[in-house]
Amino acid sequence: MPAAVEALGRLGVDPTTTEHTSFRGIRFLDATAPSSSFQGLFRSTPGIGIRRTRLHHLMLERAISLGARFQWQTTVQAIEISTTGLPVVSTTTGLFQPRYLVGADGLHSRIRNLAGLDRTGSGSTRIGIRQHYAAKPHTDLVEVYWSKVGQAYVTPISSSELCVAFVYRTRPSTRDHLSLFPALKARLNHASPIGATRGAITLTRSLRHVTRGSIALVGDSSGSVDAITGDGLALCFQQSLALVQAIETGSLAPYRQAHARISRRPRLMSHLLLLMDRHPALFSRALHAFSQQPSLFPDLLSMHAGEEPLRLLGSGGLVASLLCLLGS
């Protein structure tokens, strides 16, 4: 998403230097009736579709260029707090006593668990399945197909390749995921799968605390939003920038405040989108409302993408938009 591209640029990584595609906005479609759709374009910069492995390579190169040292195949086994208040980290290759310890190790963070920060405030889980297809993109939008069982997100990642992510509330009864999205199946009827299907969970979770002493959590280890928002990477990059600024001040207090501020918009949007996922009738109402008011979805997309302030009240605010959807 544009916010992730902007934050990644501030970290010194340019994803356009490797194979990628740009997308100008988002289109929502009914999985059984693709003619029922609505879309919105970004009002700032475009988003970027890229294979995660290519992105990781660019980030690794950037870290090496800055002098980062890597201890590959090293596992953290224990964390203790020394008499000086600094963490002592026991690993499979020895002891480390860093000034700061950052847990950036994902949803199942070992650092979070060992630091005693694993208590969650709230959470919900969905199942995600990812498959690449050899197909030329037919649009420069990310398409989201909605069905009664979940969504299929179609992102162009090169001039000849699509990434399709299927996300469900419960485990599907079939391995033929395209069969659950008839309109998408028709679109990809002649497309060949590339590589293996991969699965994971997508988790909505907030933590009571993201720091303890000089230990901080960042990215999915510090809490996460559902993949439906498309904001996971943006949160990670924005939190990383805020954490660096806090470390420069010698205190993690500013990071705690920034983390809460950065997470507020994606969490709100995640709750609203998951509401439509749980109640398919609400999606049907949204289709009707967006067709009646063509500017409504682009306005909501701009708030979602951070291009416009998140206004709750007023004629163009989020509350008025929700009332319009519920009353449609």
pLDDT tens figures, 251-262: 999 999 999 999
User: Bridge partners of 203?
Assistant: 125
| pTM to 2 decimal places | 0.89
| Consecutive H or E run containing 256 | helix 253-278
CATH top-level class for 2-55+123-203?
alpha beta
- Which of 137-151, 211-225, 284-298, 304-318 has the least mean pLDDT? 304-318
| Consecutive H or E run containing 142 | strand 141-146
Q: How far is residue 266's CA from residue 279's CA, in Å, rounded to a whole number?
A: 20
Q: How far is residue 29's CA from residue 291's CA, in Å, rounded to a whole number?
A: 12
Q: Cβ–Cβ contacts within 10 Å for residue 323, how many?
A: 11
- Do 100 and 240 meet the contact criterion of CB atoms below 8 Å apart? no
Q: State the span(s) of the chain assigned CATH 3.30.9.100.
A: 2-55+123-203
- Do 251 and 242 meet the contact criterion of CB atoms below 8 Å apart? no
More confident position, 31 or 283:
31
- Do 236 and 8 meet the contact criterion of CB atoms below 8 Å apart? no
| Res. 307: pLDDT tops 80 | no
